[in-house]
A and B are shown apart, each in its own frame.
Chain A
Amino acid sequence: MADLQRLADALKRDGGEVREAGPADAVDGVPATAVARPASADGVAAVLREATAQGLATVARGAGTALDWGAPPERVDLILDTTGLDRLVEHGAGDLVVVAEAGLPVAALSETVRAAAQELVVDLPPERLAGGSTVGGALSTGASGPRRLQRGGIRDLVLGATVVLADGTIASSGGKVVKNVAGYDLAKLLTGAYGTLGVVVRAAFRLHPARPDRAFVVATGPLADVAARARDVVASQLAPAAVEIDRPAGSDGAEVAVLLEGTTAAVGQRAAAAAELLGGRVQREPPAWWAVLPGAAAAGPFGTGVSTGSTTVGGATSASGVEPVETYGKATATLTGVADLLAAARGAEQRYGVGVALRGTAAGVLHTVVTGTPEATAYAVGHLRGAAPSPRDGTVTVLRAPREVRARLDAWGPVGGLDLMRAIKRQLDPGRSLAPGRFVGGI
């Protein structure tokens, strides 16, 4: 049991707070004991050192918009709330670099850099942005949005990070310059690690100049046709900033939307060329589904600041295991494999009586929501995995799911290099103090 007094003592110099946890602090249904909200990296180090000495299991939390992604932790003694570390440390506009503390909302960061006509191209789902999703949260969940097609994912934008390990060690890697090969790139290792290696307290990112104008080109059609046309645009020399595909559950068709960015004159010409290639229409505004997570994943607990666990996920109260529930995951594919993934979604629906929504970049990172009974959902996920000839060509990882679904499937699927990952975890968090059980292979 957490000794709150000693945790509070550890935070005395920092000025941060410690309180008892409430029902709203549960992580995917796992109740927490205490919540610490330090105000500095030193405070994070002090409280983690104390927590680990007490043998507590600690889960880092930003705004909590994705706290129930990944497996539920085995136990949660302490929530380490990072929102007290919310400074924008440095915006080097001339260098196209921003340095921020982990608890800073991405929306606040974006607003600051927008003043210099710059942007951090992470394209978080609007519901996560509105929910206050933090820099540390975006990094730790490996956020992926439409414009990764050309500019890469958040792992390609992060230049450096400072992390606090379970034993309170504060360690930095990388830096705040765009080009740098000194030492290991630990910032990438922390990206998408769901807080299981350490608590990120600060990160530096590469920014991009905001392009003066943009246009969207949208087309709809049968699944295979849409996938092929999306591929044609990706393979063209039109340099699209994004090519997104949306396939609603139960549909025989899909919509493709292409984003072109540039100067007004150039965007107009390229949009016309893309419209011809796509057989689509040019429009000023994105389709309503742009960058939004599919299904009720979008209408989940986001915006309330803190997730209240799987009971809020659509239909997750199904104790009997026969009522339909909703499962959210991430599906990857090769550029050519996206068509097979779309076909597999239709196939899974027909075979297992589920709904499978797919939405994401034609470059092969798609959000998926499967709606069905737990058993049918498990089969459907297996069917989607079968769309790729091997895990090298595509994977499906289940991020948010009711317990009944998790009990019936392997949420992460095959993981290449799992032994190395376990060894890294053992080195950085030997006592399994950080989010035990949340990550691949039970890490």
Chain B
Amino acid sequence: MAPSTATPLDIITAELIAELGSDQVITDRQRRRTYECDGLAAYRVVPGVVVLAQDPDDVAATVRACARNGVPFVARGSGTGLSGGALPHSDGVLVVMSQMRAIREVDVAAQRAVVDPGVINLQLTAATSPDGYYFAPDPSSQSVCSIGGNVAENSGGAHCLKYGFTTNHVTGLDLVTPGGERVEIGGKAPDPPGYDLLGALVGSEGTLGVVTAATVRLTRLPQEVRTLLAAFRSMDDAGAATSAIIAAGVIPAAIEMMDALAIEAAEAAVHCNYPAGAGAVLVVELDGPSPDVAGEFDDVVRLCEEAGSFEVRVAADDDERALIWKGRKSAFAAVGRISPDYIVQDGVIPRTALPLVLRQIAELSESAGVRVANVFHAGDGNLHPLVLFDGSVEGAVDRAEEVAGGILDLCLAHGGSITGEHGVGADKAKHMPRMFTADDLDTMQAVRCAFDPDGISNPGKVFPTPRLCGERPGRHQGAHPLAESGVAEVF
């Protein structure tokens, strides 16, 4: 029995231990600290209590307890997110999903898999590739990130230009609503009747409930994959090559670009041996039926050369392909070799604005005296500038933050987005009003109210200010009074 001065957290902790057992409920502060941050370590909060969920019943019981006591909860997958989306709440429950990691069903004939939320992205591909299939969304963290996390963040990856994002690959979700109810949405068949709840849920960053199972598409492995690395003197030339490839009607599986500073970092870290003297490199990958890939690949090589590429390397086999990708995939971590600290920014611009925006980023970098390395998905205009700084120098963090924020301003000025794949999370909620009007955000939050009227599902993320669900000033004109007062449903 909790003492009369017990906080809601004390009460729920006792309830959770009683219901789930002490093995699954972590109260020890040292152990709770393990979960204080996700992949964005700049934000740290020690969770009030941690639940290690083993199955959907555990999740539902935990969420019901939270709803009963008005305690916030945050679901966490592998904790690899880069926007603080899984940042815990100090007075709340962190629901760790990573122990729910069974691939429930692989239905190759129907091209579907049903997975637990903690299943690692690449494990699904590993499990299905012997049958000739894979899970298409491929975030850089795919060897460690969970599919539940991919669903929350609508993860993309280098290959989403051609194959789409997580939202294009989910056909069913089992959800525990913030009220603790279990709801099955969709399944193996496409287009479930009614509103597209899957579309609303995927990418909602854990603010609409907790997903306890996902039914996803399996994509047929392509007959052929060809990869090249093209070195250019300048970013402008590499940008021109990208534009030429898109203009030729080719949709590559991926087009990735790195600038000189990013190349330098990658060389220092993984010795990828990119061509010397390159001011920019492009990694272009084509996949599909062999006859198409063969023809288009020749076109891409020619277009790169016409745009001024001084060296084009074509991967002769899987090992050479892996080597080309190694430099690109290691770029974020590699920046640690050339700078003690760095911010990974994530913004989007219309692809055609690329040369202009890159020049503007260079100007911003120069005037602030802050180095910026550029790595990005050139095909879809998703920039990942790495803003370098030394945290031990006074004021350096602030200057770096300012440059990182300035880059988002550039993205918005060109009609882009403040995040292409890392999510809004805790980090960018403050930027949302720069991209959306108060009415836009209010309407999104109205949808949130439909799922989570008490605002307990991952509060403080996505939206800069919470919205009281009962309070709707200036609305309800002509509403049915019973519906308005919540006394009756009018349906």
Query: Which residues does chain B contribute within 8 Å of A94, judged by CB atoms?
Result: 243, 246-247, 350-352
Known: A171-B443, A365-B191. A184 touches B204 (CB 8 A): yes
A424 engages B243 (CB within 8 Å): no
Q: With A172-B437, A184-B444, A189-B195 as known contacts, state yes or no: A92 contacts B350, CB within 8 Å.
A: yes
Q: Which of the segments B273-281, B289-297, B362-370 contacts the partner chain?
A: B289-297
What is the bound-complex CA distance between A364 and B171, given in angstroms?
12
- Beyond A186-B447, A423-B451, is A180–B478 a contact (Cβ under 8 Å)? no
Q: Which of B289, B381, B446 contacts A266 (CB 8 A)?
A: B289
The answer to whether A420 touches B451 (Cβ under 8 A) is: yes
Check A262 against B289 for contact (C-beta < 8 Å): yes
Stretch at the interface among A22-30, A126-134, A316-324, A384-392: A384-392
Beta-carbon contact of B112 and A334 below 8 Å: yes
Min Cβ gap B317→A in Å is 19
Q: Cβ of A416: which chain B residues have Cβ within 8 Å of it?
A: 183-187, 192, 194
**Could you say which of A173, A332, A419, A428 contacts B189, with CB atoms under 8 Å apart?**
A332
Residues of B within 8 A of A391 (CB): 187, 192
- Provide the residues of chain A in CB contact with B164, threshold 8 Å: 152, 156
Would you call B249 an interface residue if the criterion is a C-beta within 8 Å of the partner chain's C-beta atoms?
A: yes
B481 to nearest A CB, angstroms?
Answer: 10
Instruction: Flag the segment in A3-11, A206-214, A346-354 that touches B.
Output: A206-214
A419 to chain B, nearest CB (A): 8
Contact of A382 with B by CB under 8 A: no
Q: When the two chains form their complex, are residues B421 and A171 in contact, meaning their CB atoms are under 8 A apart?
A: no
Q: Count of B residues near A, CB < 8 Å?
A: 108
Q: A94-B247, A117-B249, A416-B192 are in contact. Are A179 and B222 (CB under 8 A)?
A: no
* Residues of chain B with a CB closer than 8 A to A181's CB: 153-154, 156, 165, 203, 417, 419-424
Is B462 positioned at the interface, with any CB of A under 8 Å from its CB? yes
Measured as residues with beta carbon below 8 angstroms from the partner, the interface class of chain A is 35 or more
Question: A185 and B291 in contact (CB under 8 A), knowing A193-B195, A422-B489, A423-B450?
Answer: no
Q: List, in ascending order, chain A residues with CB within 8 A of B168's CB.
A: 152, 156
Q: Are A178 and B243 in contact (CB under 8 A)?
A: no
B-contacting residues, A315-356, CB 8 Å: 330, 332-337
Known A-B contacts A179-B160, A197-B195; A393 and B443 likewise in contact (beta carbons under 8 Å): no
Task: Assess whether B416 is in contact with A266, with CB atoms less than 8 Å apart.
Answer: no
Query: Is the pair A179, B437 in contact by a Cβ cutoff of 8 Å?
Result: no
Beta-carbon contact of A92 and B416 below 8 Å? no
Bound-state Cα–Cα, A233 to B241, Å: 35
The residues of B that contact A332 with a CB separation of less than 8 Å are 189-192
A395 CA to B415 CA, complexed, in Å: 39
Q: Let me know if B419 and A180 touch, CB within 8 A.
A: yes
Which residues on A sit within 8 Å (CB–CB) of B416?
175, 177, 180
Question: Please, which residues of chain B bring their CB within 8 A of the CB of A395?
Answer: 189, 191-193
Flag B412-443 by CB within 8 Å of A: 1 or 0 each: 00011111111110001000100111011111
Decide: A335 near B291, CB < 8 A? Known: A95-B350, A142-B191, A182-B424.
no
Cβ–Cβ contact B188 & A393, under 8 A? yes
One of B175, B187, B444 near A186 (C-beta < 8 A): B444
Residues on A with beta carbons closer than 8 Å to the beta carbon of B350 = 92, 94-95, 97, 176-177
* Cβ contacts under 8 Å, A167 to chain B: 474-477
Residues of chain B contacted by A183 (CB below 8 angstroms): 424, 432, 435-436, 440-441, 444, 462
CA distance A96 to B382 in the complex (A): 15
Min Cβ gap A321→B in Å is: 26
Chain A residues in 8 Å Cβ range of B440: 171-173, 183
B251 and A95: CB pair below 8 A?
no
Asked whether B451 lies within 8 Å of A49 as measured between CB atoms, the reply is: no
Asked, given contacts A212-B249, A263-B292, whether A179 binds B195 with beta carbons under 8 Å apart, the answer is no
User: What are the residues of chain A within 8 A of B449 when measuring CB–CB?
Assistant: 423, 427
Q: Is the CB of B196 within 8 A of A188?
A: yes
B349 at the interface (CB under 8 A from A): yes
B residues 437-485 with Cβ under 8 Å of A?
437, 439-444, 446-451, 462, 472, 474-480, 483-484
User: Complex: how many Å from CA A197 to CA B450?
Assistant: 13
When C-beta atoms are compared, the residue in chain A nearest to B483 turns out to be A430
Can you offer 27 A-B residue contacts whose CB atoms are under 8 A? A95-B351, A165-B443, A172-B436, A173-B436, A176-B415, A179-B165, A180-B416, A180-B417, A181-B165, A181-B419, A183-B436, A188-B198, A189-B197, A237-B222, A263-B296, A334-B189, A335-B109, A336-B107, A390-B187, A391-B187, A392-B215, A417-B194, A422-B489, A427-B449, A430-B480, A440-B193, A443-B491
If A188-B200, A412-B193 are given as contacts, then 11 extra A-B residue pairs at C-beta distance below 8 Å, sorted by A number, are: A95-B350, A171-B439, A183-B441, A193-B196, A239-B289, A263-B291, A266-B291, A336-B109, A428-B443, A430-B476, A430-B484
